Chain A
Amino acid sequence: MNDMTPIKVETTLKDWETDQEVRWCPGCGDYAILKAVQRTLPELGADPAMTVFVSGIGCSSRFPYYVESYGFHTIHGRAPAFATGIKLANPELDVWIVTGDGDGMSIGGNHTMHILRRNLDCQILLFNNEIYGLTKGQYSPTSRLGTTSPSTPGGSVDRPARPAAFALGAGARFVARGFDVSKNLPQVLKAAHAHKGAAFIEIFQNCIVYNKDVFDDFAAPKGAEAQQLWLQHDEPMLFDKGTKGLRVNTDHLHLDVVDVVDGDWQAAGVIVHDQTNRALAHMLIEMPFGPFPMALGVLYDDPRPTFEHELLGQDAKLVEGKVADLGKLLAKGQTWTVEAGGPDL
């Protein structure tokens, strides 16, 4: 069942492409993410027949149509609920959920919360472009304060939701971040896949039509590397070519950016990333971008038993030794017999 190691299947990137014409806008970040996924799946030894991509509604949710596996394009915000039914019905399937900031944080926020706390074994890719693209550019729950859009001509006044913080708060056991054109994205995807349980990845994605380049400060193809802190378990938290690092300020319990001279990060007090440290994960996620770099990669990874394993395991124990006898079930409780030969009706 859930504990079975799936059989590795040899495939190439081409095997994961469908005959469907991809219908995202030219230059959309979704193309890069699709390619990263299609490049990663062969490396995982994934079996197209055992792989299911489930999505809700929105630009990102067209994703399943372009992956040569089983795919279910469902309704707005509900992909986690469909995935739960799929996985409980067949725990051997490898389930990927593709969602967006509107789909997963707004209309489907409730389901995102519950799939994470239940810890269903699946990968959740949340494409965050901070805008509603498919409905032509309204601000989204992750849009920054003051975002002007067709529905907020004077600028948005509500503070944005932060997907990774939400995920951790909901009880996720795996939280990671990446961005569309990053060469590291396949690595993050692999780590998510290796994690047994709900693996949540926030992928910053450039909507070139309605919210162009809003992530350029840390995700521009060139020149933004200095603002990226790529986390590695058991490795010091260094960025900007190792010239800077993060230190825990124990007096006030927050992180500080420190300079690292001549690579001596220990002397600078830079801490080593422990991906099983939940408190640290909270600090990294809450770190304001600007004064701090953007924390990317696997922020938190500490598996716990999965929902389907617990639920179906409990069921299996409950029915152990029980025989499914329908006749007996129907005749349960106190019964009485009417003998033949009584008065006719």
Chain B
Amino acid sequence: MATVLAESNSAVSPRDSAVPEAVVVRFAGDSGDGMQLTGGQFTLSTALAGNDLATFPDFPAEIRAPQGTLFGVSAFQINFGSTDITTAGDAPDVLVAMNPAALKTNVQALKPGGLIIADTGEFTKRNLEKAKYEVSPIDDGSLAKWDVLAFDISALTMESVKPFGLSNKDALRCKNMWTLGLALWMFERDRQPLIDWLKDKFKKNPLLADANIAALNAGHAYGETAELSGPIKQVHMEPVASPPGLYRTVTGAESVSYGLVAGAQLAGLKMFFGGYPITPASAILHNLVKMKEFGVTTFQAEDEIAAICAAIGASYAGQLGVTSSSGPGIALKGEAMGLAVMTELPLVIVNSQRGGPSTGLPTKTEQSDLYQAVYGRNGDAPIPVVSCRSPGDAFDCAIEAVRIAVQFMTPVILLTDGYIANAAEPWKVPDPKNFAPFPVSFLEEKNGDVVLPYKRDAKGVRPWIKPGTPGLMHRIGGIEKGIDTGAIDYGSDVHQIQTDARKAKIDGVAKSIPAQEVSLGTSSGRLAVVGWGSTYGPILQAVRRARAKGQDVSHIHVRHIWPLPSNLGDLLKGYDKILVPEMNTGQFKTVLRDQYLVDAKPLTKTSGQPFTIAELEAAIEGELA
């Protein structure tokens, strides 16, 4: 049975008598082992226990990579605690490794002294070979700097589900629930919500539900009863101090979908979503199909181009057109975005960024589509760009994108990324009544002697005219158009005037957005760390730690990438140094330098993994040295 192999040598592992403020657990296994599901359910239990948390699902691009291989490892990391959590955690305290490949690909991330829980049932000769181990790492002392709890989870699971008479294959598939049971015991989590969930999930096959529940209970009982003198011990974590209210967990893909629906409701519009399957953006389509009672029509188009064109068609016909994709798909949509700029129709384009160029890293995160969003079209085609910093923030950002689109008759790009899309965090459920409506009005009568589709208002915005409105027939298109009338006009003066008008209109969006604030720190000083998107969490924590050490550093997080907040330039000039961490080769840095002639210094990372707090702390240290 259980063998505790390594000497305990940890100062930070959960068995420490001092109660930690936060713990990072990583579940890693074969992509067929159900690690994402295990992580997701552990997340829910943790949220229900009142801890703050952040997660990082990290999985291969292949749906079923060959079993036991290094590239087939799927991992799910969760950072949770009784304090404010903004990242999925730098290094895990606990690594659950369901096979040798999972151990090999993840163990180096584990904190020294951290705990490894490994299923020896999978450490067979064949699996060791697949993971390129010559001898079992459990036996050769190579794991000495960690605590190892290695035992045959496979056999224990088989034993626990024996009464149900499942096939070997089905029985072994309950392994993840056994492991989850143990994890729930370790962190004093309630099993009931999970039991309810299993009953619901397998309601058509109660036998499988019972077997999985039995495995879960067995794992839990194992923790309770096994005489583990070694590294494993229960950890009690106090709930986080959160503002009162109703909470749930939310992923970025969910909150973007909710935000788009909420935005359409606030605008008083029906919403049309045109999409084409692409990782990691498809989840938004999957969510929206369940929200049709909110006047949502979803259309899975034949390609990315048709998806955006249909959305523009719907906007032309008076609905809120929305499309969503990831970098390669956004590239295909480029020409149509230009048409939306030219015809001045509202549209929201969501980009769930992933590693590029080309197909790049479909399931890994990156922020390398900023140039594409801000600059990536033919002609002078300015488009407002809003970026989300976290799953919860994506809700507000989506509403903001809708507001700008309909108030300024323009396409708007909403940047999120693979990390935000898949990660979950606790979310204080917003009250829709707290959002100010921004109802849209369509032109109903002639706005001149004849209808003038391009007659601009004080903000430079043209009227929205729905086909079907009597007496307002007119033609629009991608060719340059005459002042007010919109009739084809290639004249050089006209092109100058209309180019200027399109630019001025988008520049004017800056007047409708909040002034840039300092997220943490002071409005001037030695160093500003300027970030955007999902680097918010690690930057905030790194700046917090640096400031706790007495360092003069502030954090500025920018939501509106284009146009930038009007006061940002002045604000930046109040710091001696500016550091811009980004998961790309320095794209936002370029925009800041261009716009403000400031010496913004890049800190870049393109490994497909988010920044760690430690990396950023070190960079801050370096700047202030």
Q: Which residues of A are at the interface with B, using a C-beta cutoff of 8 A?
A: 18, 20, 48-50, 52, 54, 64-65, 68-76, 78, 80-90, 92-93, 110-111, 113-114, 311-312, 315, 318-319, 322-324, 326-327, 329-345
- Given the known inter-chain contacts A81-B306, A329-B294, A345-B241, please indicate yes or no for A71 contacting B258, CB distance below 8 A: no
Instruction: Report yes or no: B316 in contact with A82, Cβ–Cβ below 8 A.
Output: yes
Of B150-158, B221-229, B245-253, B588-596, which binds chain A?
B245-253
Instruction: Report yes or no: A327 in contact with B245, Cβ–Cβ below 8 A.
Output: no
CB neighbours (8 Å) of B338 from chain A are: 75
Partner of A319, one of B272, B292, B307, B311: B292
Asked if B47 is at the interface of the complex by the 8 Å CB criterion, the answer is yes
List 7 A-B residue pairs with CB atoms under 8 Å apart, sorted by A's residue number. Answer: A74-B312, A80-B306, A110-B302, A311-B297, A337-B246, A339-B244, A344-B241
Instruction: Report yes or no: A326 in contact with B432, Cβ–Cβ below 8 A.
Output: yes
Instruction: Name the distance in Å between A66's Cβ and chain B's nearest Cβ.
Output: 9
Instruction: Name the distance in Å between A93's Cβ and chain B's nearest Cβ.
Output: 6
Q: How large is the interface on B (under 10, 10 to 19, 20 to 34, 35 or more residues)?
A: 35 or more
Partner of B339, one of A20, A74, A110, A315: A74
Q: For B262, give the chain A residue with the smallest CB separation.
A: A326
Instruction: Report yes or no: B432 in contact with A81, Cβ–Cβ below 8 A.
Output: no
Asked if B439 is at the interface of the complex by the 8 Å CB criterion, the answer is no
Instruction: Report yes or no: B297 in contact with A64, Cβ–Cβ below 8 A.
Output: no
- Given the known inter-chain contacts A84-B306, A331-B248, A331-B429, please indicate yes or no for A49 contacting B473, CB distance below 8 A: yes
Partner of A324, one of B258, B294, B339, B343: B294
Q: How far is the CA of A330 from the CA of B398 in the complex (A)?
A: 14
Question: For B292, B293, B307, B313, which residue has the most chain A Cβ atoms within 10 angstroms?
Answer: B313
CB neighbours (8 Å) of B469 from chain A are: 49
Q: How far is the CA of A339 from the CA of B241 in the complex (A)?
A: 10
Q: How far is the CA of A85 from the CA of B346 in the complex (A)?
A: 14
Instruction: Report yes or no: A70 in contact with B292, Cβ–Cβ below 8 A.
Output: no
Q: For A318, give the chain B residue with the smallest CB separation.
A: B292
Instruction: Report yes or no: A329 in contact with B291, Cβ–Cβ below 8 A.
Output: yes
CB neighbours (8 Å) of A337 from chain B are: 244-247
- Given the known inter-chain contacts A319-B293, A334-B248, A343-B241, please indicate yes or no for A93 contacting B313, CB distance below 8 A: no
Instruction: Name the distance in Å between B84's Cβ and chain A's nearest Cβ.
Output: 8
CB neighbours (8 Å) of A341 from chain B are: 244
Question: For B249, B317, B479, which residue has the most chain A Cβ atoms within 10 angstroms?
Answer: B317
Q: How far is the CA of A64 from the CA of B473 in the complex (A)?
A: 11
Q: How far is the CA of A50 from the CA of B472 in the complex (A)?
A: 11
Instruction: Name the distance in Å between A142's Cβ and chain B's nearest Cβ.
Output: 22
Mark out the residues of chain B between 426 and 469 whose CB falls within 8 Å of any chain A CB in the assembled complex.
429-433, 466-469
Q: For A85, give the chain B residue with the smallest CB separation.
A: B313
CB neighbours (8 Å) of B84 from chain A are: 345
CB neighbours (8 Å) of A113 from chain B are: 302
CB neighbours (8 Å) of B262 from chain A are: 326, 330
CB neighbours (8 Å) of A319 from chain B are: 292-293
Q: Which residues of B are at the interface with A, using a C-beta cutoff of 8 A?
A: 44, 47-48, 50, 84, 193, 239, 241-249, 258, 261-262, 265, 270, 272, 274, 291-295, 297, 299, 301-303, 305-307, 309-319, 321, 335-336, 338-339, 343, 429-433, 466-479, 487-488
Q: How far is the CA of A75 from the CA of B333 in the complex (A)?
A: 11
Q: How far is the CA of A105 from the CA of B448 in the complex (A)?
A: 40
Instruction: Report yes or no: A111 in contact with B272, Cβ–Cβ below 8 A.
Output: no
Partner of A110, one of B243, B303, B471: B303
Q: How far is the CA of A111 from the CA of B297 in the complex (A)?
A: 20
Instruction: Name the distance in Å between A95's Cβ and chain B's nearest Cβ.
Output: 9
Instruction: Report yes or no: B476 in contact with A86, Cβ–Cβ below 8 A.
Output: no
- Given the known inter-chain contacts A326-B261, A335-B247, please indicate yes or no for A72 contacting B50, CB distance below 8 A: no
Q: For A53, give the chain B residue with the smallest CB separation.
A: B475
Instruction: Report yes or no: A338 in contact with B245, Cβ–Cβ below 8 A.
Output: yes
Q: How far is the CA of A78 from the CA of B333 in the complex (A)?
A: 11
Instruction: Name the distance in Å between B300's Cβ and chain A's nearest Cβ.
Output: 10
Partner of A338, one of B243, B299, B470, B476: B243
Partner of A326, one of B265, B299, B339, B473: B265
Instruction: Name the distance in Å between B180's Cβ and chain A's nearest Cβ.
Output: 16
CB neighbours (8 Å) of A90 from chain B are: 317-318, 466-468
Q: How far is the CA of A322 from the CA of B243 in the complex (A)?
A: 32
Instruction: Report yes or no: A82 in contact with B467, Cβ–Cβ below 8 A.
Output: no
Instruction: Report yes or no: A81 in contact with B301, Cβ–Cβ below 8 A.
Output: yes
Instruction: Report yes or no: B272 in contact with A72, Cβ–Cβ below 8 A.
Output: no
Partner of B272, one of A52, A78, A89: A89
Instruction: Report yes or no: A86 in contact with B246, Cβ–Cβ below 8 A.
Output: no
Instruction: Report yes or no: B477 in contact with A74, Cβ–Cβ below 8 A.
Output: yes
Instruction: Report yes or no: B295 in contact with A84, Cβ–Cβ below 8 A.
Output: no
Q: How far is the CA of A12 from the CA of B579 in the complex (A)?
A: 68
Instruction: Report yes or no: B468 in contact with A78, Cβ–Cβ below 8 A.
Output: no
Instruction: Report yes or no: A338 in contact with B313, Cβ–Cβ below 8 A.
Output: no
Instruction: Report yes or no: A88 in contact with B299, Cβ–Cβ below 8 A.
Output: yes
Known: A69-B473, A74-B309, A86-B316. 17 other contacts (CB 8 A): A49-B472, A72-B316, A72-B476, A81-B310, A84-B306, A85-B272, A85-B317, A90-B318, A312-B297, A324-B265, A329-B294, A331-B248, A335-B247, A338-B247, A340-B244, A342-B241, A345-B241
Instruction: Report yes or no: B432 in contact with A327, Cβ–Cβ below 8 A.
Output: yes
Question: For B475, B478, B488, which residue has the most chain A Cβ atoms within 10 angstroms?
Answer: B475
CB neighbours (8 Å) of A334 from chain B are: 44, 47-48, 193, 248-249
Q: How far is the CA of A111 from the CA of B335 in the complex (A)?
A: 16
Instruction: Name the distance in Å between A342's Cβ and chain B's nearest Cβ.
Output: 6
Instruction: Report yes or no: B309 in contact with A315, Cβ–Cβ below 8 A.
Output: no
Instruction: Name the distance in Å between B349's Cβ and chain A's nearest Cβ.
Output: 14
Q: For A315, give the chain B residue with the smallest CB separation.
A: B292
Instruction: Report yes or no: A48 in contact with B246, Cβ–Cβ below 8 A.
Output: no
CB neighbours (8 Å) of B193 from chain A are: 334
CB neighbours (8 Å) of A89 from chain B are: 270, 272, 297, 313-314, 317-319
Instruction: Report yes or no: A71 in contact with B319, Cβ–Cβ below 8 A.
Output: no
Q: How far is the CA of A312 from the CA of B261 in the complex (A)?
A: 18
Instruction: Report yes or no: A70 in contact with B467, Cβ–Cβ below 8 A.
Output: yes
Instruction: Report yes or no: B47 in contact with A336, Cβ–Cβ below 8 A.
Output: yes
Q: For B310, give the chain A residue with the smallest CB separation.
A: A85
Q: For B294, give the chain A residue with the smallest CB separation.
A: A324
Instruction: Name the distance in Å between B405's Cβ and chain A's nearest Cβ.
Output: 15
- Given the known inter-chain contacts A73-B479, A111-B302, A337-B247, please indicate yes or no for A82 contacting B310, CB distance below 8 A: yes
CB neighbours (8 Å) of B336 from chain A are: 75, 78
Q: For A20, give the chain B residue with the smallest CB separation.
A: B487
Instruction: Report yes or no: A82 in contact with B312, Cβ–Cβ below 8 A.
Output: yes
Q: For A77, give the chain B residue with the smallest CB separation.
A: B305
Partner of B468, one of A18, A50, A82, A322: A50
CB neighbours (8 Å) of A74 from chain B are: 309, 312, 339, 477-478
Partner of A342, one of B242, B297, B343: B242
- Given the known inter-chain contacts A20-B488, A88-B310, please indicate yes or no for A335 contacting B429, CB distance below 8 A: yes
Partner of B488, one of A65, A82, A322, A344: A65
Q: For A70, give the chain B residue with the smallest CB separation.
A: B467
